[in-house]
Structure 1
């Protein structure tokens, strides 16, 4: 037995499992600390499309707008009024609001009252194809402390014949 040493009598062999357990505990504590630092969204948003306005026209209540066939085939611009609140009706401030579809897009940030006006840009004007009678635009809102809000077909544009 001179060549072979018994593990029971070797004190260094016991250090390895103890070191692994200590490293595992320290690693789990560090991971738990990092996870607790990450803010989690805690609130739901209520979003309302208050009105839509065709370029140069009056604001119409609701989320749809009717355009004549001549206007629909030429590039046009719209303005959409969006209001974001929490479940208690308090305004959601500084939320990033994005509206896109029909070849155009608009973005803005909500103000102190949770309202924003989105107007499609001059270089990204909307257009309905000659054989297209209606089109929709999607809405996305991002705000700190809230779940992201996405709504397909949030704004509808209908062409009259």
Structure 2
């Protein structure tokens, strides 16, 4: 009786042609894969909506004295450009402040806040904390700590 399975196995074992095309096909698949990956990465890096610019609050004066006064604070982006429509918030740090002062920046990126910082009886200095709330609909964030305003007794 003729065993066809045995004949096929013998022919397959002696056949060395199948291995010739395998390395070439792997190289082609690798080159095409790298090309497709580079195109996809260039498309993703070109999308501007994935980046968020950090906002910073810069006071016109880093030090003030206790008492009623107006403080100008400028909201700027990571490149130092003024940002209009941002909300600047001043709250008590180690100096006392009656409530929280807020103001919205104008076209020049500057907001004027009326504050009345006070120091304790034996306190020589204190701080006021600044934060910036970005304008809605824009890709800004305020994640890092902003400059504090130093309140110093005269």
TM > 0.5 between the two? Answer: yes
> Which contiguous aligned blocks of 4+ residues in structure 1 show a shift greater than 3 angstroms?
149-153
CA distance in 2, matches of 1:109, 1:141: 10
CA distance in 1, matches of 2:140, 2:86: 9
- Is 1:45 aligned to 2:55, yes or no? yes
- Is 1:113 aligned to 2:108, yes or no? yes
Q: What is the aligned partner in structure 1 of residue 62 from structure 2?
A: 63
- The Cα of 1:42 is off from its aligned counterpart by 1.1
5+ residue gaps, structure 1, are: 1-38, 51-61
> Which is strand-richer, 1 or 2?
1
TM-aligned CA distance change 1:150 to 1:81, over 3 Å: farther
- The Cα of 1:89 is off from its aligned counterpart by 3.3
**Structure number, greater radius of gyration:** 2
TM-score (norm 2): 0.55
TM-aligned CA distance change 1:119 to 1:151, over 3 Å: farther
Q: Deviations over 1:43-71 (max 9, x none)?
A: 11243211xxxxxxxxxxx3102x4xxxx
Determine if contact 1:91/1:114 at 8 Å carries over to the other structure.
yes
Q: What is the aligned partner in structure 2 of residue 97 from structure 1?
A: 88
Determine if contact 1:79/1:118 at 8 Å carries over to the other structure.
yes
CA distance in 1, matches of 2:149, 2:52: 27
5+ residue gaps, structure 2, are: 1-48
Figure out how many residues of one structure are paired with residues of the other and give that number: 99
TM-score (norm 1): 0.53
142, 148, 158: which one pairs with 2:142?
148
Alignment of 1:4-83 (within 5 A): 42-50=52-60, 62-65=61-64, 67=65, 72=66, 76-83=67-74
